């Protein structure tokens, strides 16, 4: 029998490893940026084309590599970060396994230019699919420039599974944020398709957050700081009123490495308990510093999950620290045990001896003894005359209108309210009313076969969805003009994302007065939208677009109409008048698909008389 187990060739093994390390272009960005940080660079530049599918280039001014290191760095498990297995539990660097560059080189065209500070000339290496094409000397500046072109060129199936360019760009920006926030002392720059996306100078943590998320984010930050033997906590949390429905601005860093931890996230959420609305998530930028021997980083291929030795203590410490910060900065109500200064002894009396008060009593005084020498003084009260009480009623007779006279008290009748028990606490159904509301959520209407129950929020979603889709198609929408323009602030990437759907937004009724890098001026909004809800509606649209951006124009209109309808529809808990209820029902049945919402959820339920009869059998 012949042997059936064989060793894989190196290029195949590298492609399999690439499946763990390189899942999308953002994975390449993460590995290259972390390598630049490990090289002690103080300035890093990221250049991206076509969401990383065509080019990902990272330029740094770090230590650089010699000609031998420039060749060895593309071999599997070749690393300068660890020497023995014990080093895995005492890590101070980002990349350490030595498989990132080998995996990237197996599935792309890679070009490396590097030079150390001591060397006079540098090295230029070209690799395609794990095969070294050339290695030659070159005149390059100090540092390293690594270009990754045509990602997944030799694995077309993996390339076909990549998402659209806006989605992949969002993932790249997320990885860029995570590295830039962890290292504010390093200057970062990002260029996408020739335009500057970020230009972040060297700064502190607060300035870095403001530079990334916009100037308005400065007023949202609440400092958090605490230092113990177990963990040192530093960073910021966002004020409760700025909690969002999405989990966008949530960042945990452990020893300057971004991590994801649902357990620690629960600690933050519990600290905000009672301060944020249901369905919203607080934002935070928290930096944890723990002994490197007390954590295990190498439990996940992407190194975004960490195992702590004492997880419960860190949970309790983090929760208590955030609660203390929210109370210290008067964000949350706290019990104040400070004593009142009015109870303190005045300074001028602090050195005086207390004096016992003297009391003088006339011991011979007897109130029952006649002719006593000392009698208490008598106080007499003079009774006021009541003869002028009639003057209080002067003027009740109107001189200008003699017919108006004060009615005598004897002829006045007071009708007492009649209190009777009521079996039902619901609102009264007026005569002729065919609809009524239950719990400010459902509209019940009588029909010939029984009754119909309509979910008011989903029904209005369907109405708004079809109306918005029609307006975007025929490009005719009703807009209500604002007396004062509304200024809405977003980060630069979100402004660019809104730019892609600006035309569709204008067709729905939005009128923009100004459009800048971080601020949009709005002087017209769709009819029926409240001015205070404009920012929330645009945030919901951005969130939906970032998570599922379609390529086709019609699909984009459909997604935008769904998102706007969800934000603009009548919310659950809104009380509706009789006319509003009936109007909503009439509008619903004028729709093309009245029975389902835009998300294919049932809008109405029909109960016939037989169903009701069965309930009483």
The yes/no answer on whether domain 205-328 falls in CATH 3.30.230.10 is yes
- The CATH superfamily assigned to 442-606 is MutL, C-terminal domain, regulatory subdomain (3.30.1370.100)
d(CA 283, CA 266): 12
The token pair that represents 165 in the structure block: 């360019």
Q: Residue 181: pLDDT band by 50, 70, 90 thresholds?
A: very high
| Residue 424: pLDDT band with limits 50, 70, 90 | very low
Task: Work out the pLDDT band at 126, boundaries 50, 70, 90.
Answer: very high
CA dist 605 → 426, 543, 608 (Å): 21, 31, 10
| φ, ψ at 464 (rounded to 5°) | -65, -40
Helix H or strand E segment including 60: strand 55-60
pLDDT tens, position by position, 207-253: 999 998 888 888 888 899 988 888 899 999 998 888 887 777 889 89
What distance in Å separates the CA atoms of residue 540 and residue 458, rounded to the nearest whole number?
17
The more confident residue out of 58 and 413 is 58
pLDDT of residue 445: 86
Q: Does the structure show a pLDDT above 70 at 295?
A: yes
CA distance 96 to 82: 7
- 234-245 core/surface letters (b: 16 or more CB in 10 A; e: else): bbbbbbbebbbe
Q: What is the mean pLDDT of the chain?
A: 79
Point out which residues pair with 143 in neighbouring strands.
115
**Residue labelled with tokens 């892609």:** 500
Q: Domain 10-200 class?
A: alpha beta
Reported as type and span, the H/E element at residue 275 is none
pLDDT at residue 615 in the model:
80
Selection from 195-209, 377-391, 486-500 with the highest mean pLDDT: 195-209
Residue 176's nearest CA partner among 153, 194, 199, 146 is 199
Comparing CA positions, the residue from 473, 479, 452, 482 lying closest to residue 602 is 452
Q: Which two tokens stand for residue 191?
A: 């260029």
Q: Where are the beta strands (DSSP E) in 428-478?
A: 435-438, 442-446, 450-455
Q: CA torsion angle for 51, 52, 54, 55 (degrees, to 10)? A: 130
pLDDT at 407 over 70: no
Do residues 482 and 510 make contact, with C-beta atoms less than 8 angstroms apart?
A: no
Rg (alpha carbons) of the chain, rounded to whole number? 37
Residues 6+ apart with CB under 8 A from 295: 254, 255, 306, 307, 308, 309
What is the per-residue pLDDT for 361?
81
pLDDT band, very low/low/confident/very high, at 412 (cuts 50, 70, 90) = low
Sheet containing 450-455: order of strands: 435-438, 442-446, 450-455, 604-608
pLDDT, residue 148, reads 92
Quick check: 349 pLDDT over 80?
A: no
Cα–Cα distance for residue pair 424/134, rounded to 1 Å: 87
For residue 162, the surrounding DSSP H or E stretch is none
Q: Say whether pLDDT at 503 is over 90.
A: no
- pLDDT for position 248: 74
Residue 131: the pLDDT is 85
Q: Which segment of 34-38, 228-232, 543-547 scores lowest on mean pLDDT?
A: 543-547
Domain coordinates of the chain in residue numbers? 10-200, 205-328, 442-606
pLDDT of res. 387? 57
Query: Is it the case that residue 343 has pLDDT exceeding 70?
Result: no
> Residue 91 has what pLDDT?
59
Q: How many residues does the chain have?
A: 617
Q: Which of 18-27, 121-130, 513-522 has the highest mean pLDDT?
A: 121-130
The pLDDT, as a whole number, for residue 82 is: 58
If you ran DSSP here, which 8-state letter would residue 378 be given? P
Q: How confident is the model at residue 551 (pLDDT cuts 50, 70, 90)?
A: very low
What is the reported pTM?
0.68
Does residue 36 or residue 435 have the better pLDDT? 36
């Amino acid at each position: 029998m012949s042997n059936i187990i064989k060793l894989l060739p190196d290029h195949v093994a590298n492609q399999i490893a690439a499946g763990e390390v390189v899942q999308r272009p953002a994975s390449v960005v993460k590995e290259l940026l972390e390598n630049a940080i490990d090289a002690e660079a103080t300035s890093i530049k990221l250049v991206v084309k076509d969401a990383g599918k065509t080019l990902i280039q990272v330029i740094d001014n770090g230590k650089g590599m010699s000609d031998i290191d420039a060749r060895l760095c593309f071999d599997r498990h070749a690393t300068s970060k660890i020497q023995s297995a014990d080093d895995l539990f005492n890590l101070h660097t980002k990349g350490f396994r030595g498989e990132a560059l080998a995996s990237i080189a197996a599935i792309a065209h890679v070009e490396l230019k590097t030079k150390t500070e001591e060397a006079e000339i540098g090295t230029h290496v070209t690799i395609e699919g794990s095969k070294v094409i050339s290695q030659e000397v070159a005149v390059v500046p100090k540092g390293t420039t690594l270009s990754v072109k045509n990602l997944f060129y030799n694995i077309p199936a993996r390339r076909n599974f990549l998402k659209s360019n806006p989605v992949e760009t969002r993932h790249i920006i997320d990885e860029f944020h995570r590295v830039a926030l962890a290292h504010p002392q390093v200057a970062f720059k990002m260029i996408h398709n020739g335009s500057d996306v970020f230009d972040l100078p060297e700064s502190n943590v607060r300035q870095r957050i403001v530079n990334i998320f916009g100037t308005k984010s400065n007023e949202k930050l609440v400092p958090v700081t605490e230092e113990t033997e177990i963990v040192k906590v530093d960073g910021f949390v966002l004020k409760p009123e700025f909690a969002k429905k999405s989990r966008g601005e949530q960042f945990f860093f452990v020893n300057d490495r971004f991590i994801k931890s649902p357990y620690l996230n629960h600690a933050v959420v519990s600290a905000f308990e009672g301060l944020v609305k249901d369905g919203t998530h607080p934002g935070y930028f928290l930096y944890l510093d723990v002994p490197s021997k007390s954590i295990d980083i190498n439990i996940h291929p992407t190194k975004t999950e960490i195992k702590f030795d004492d997880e419960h203590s860190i949970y309790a410490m983090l929760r208590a620290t955030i609660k203390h910060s929210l109370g210290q900065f008067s964000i949350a109500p706290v019990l104040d045990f400070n004593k009142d200064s009015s109870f303190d002894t005045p300074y001028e009396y602090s050195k005086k001896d207390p004096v016992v008060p003297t009391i003088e009593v006339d011991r011979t005084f007897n109130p029952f003894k006649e002719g006593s020498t000392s009698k208490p003084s008598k106080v007499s009260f003079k009774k006021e005359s009541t003869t002028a009480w009639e003057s209080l009623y002067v003027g009740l007779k109107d001189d200008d209108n003699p017919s108006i006279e004060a009615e005598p008290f004897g002829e006045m009748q007071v009708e007492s309210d009649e209190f009777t028990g009521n079996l039902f606490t619901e609102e009264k159904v007026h005569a002729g009313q065919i609809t009524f509301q239950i719990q400010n959520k459902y509209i019940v209407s009588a029909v010939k076969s029984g009754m119909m129950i309509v979910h008011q929020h989903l029904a209005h979603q369907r109405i708004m969805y079809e109306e918005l889709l029609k307006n975007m198609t025929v490009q005719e929408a009703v807009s209500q003009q604002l007396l004062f323009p509304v200024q809405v602030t977003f980060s630069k990437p979100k402004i660019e994302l809104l730019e892609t759907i600006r035309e569709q937004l204008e067709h729905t009724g939005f009128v923009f007065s100004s459009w800048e890098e971080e601020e949009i001026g709005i002087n017209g909004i769709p009819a029926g939208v409240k001015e205070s809800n404009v920012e929330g509606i645009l945030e919901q649209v951005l969130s939906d677009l970032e998570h599922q951006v379609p390529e086709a124009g019609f699909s984009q209109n459909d997604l935008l109409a769904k998102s706007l309808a969800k934000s603009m529809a009548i919310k659950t808990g809104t009380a509706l008048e009789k006319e509003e209820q009936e109007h909503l029902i009439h509008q619903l049945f004028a729709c093309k698909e009245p029975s389902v919402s835009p998300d294919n959820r049932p809008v109405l339920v029909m109960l016939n008389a037989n169903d009701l009869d069965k309930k009483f059998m």
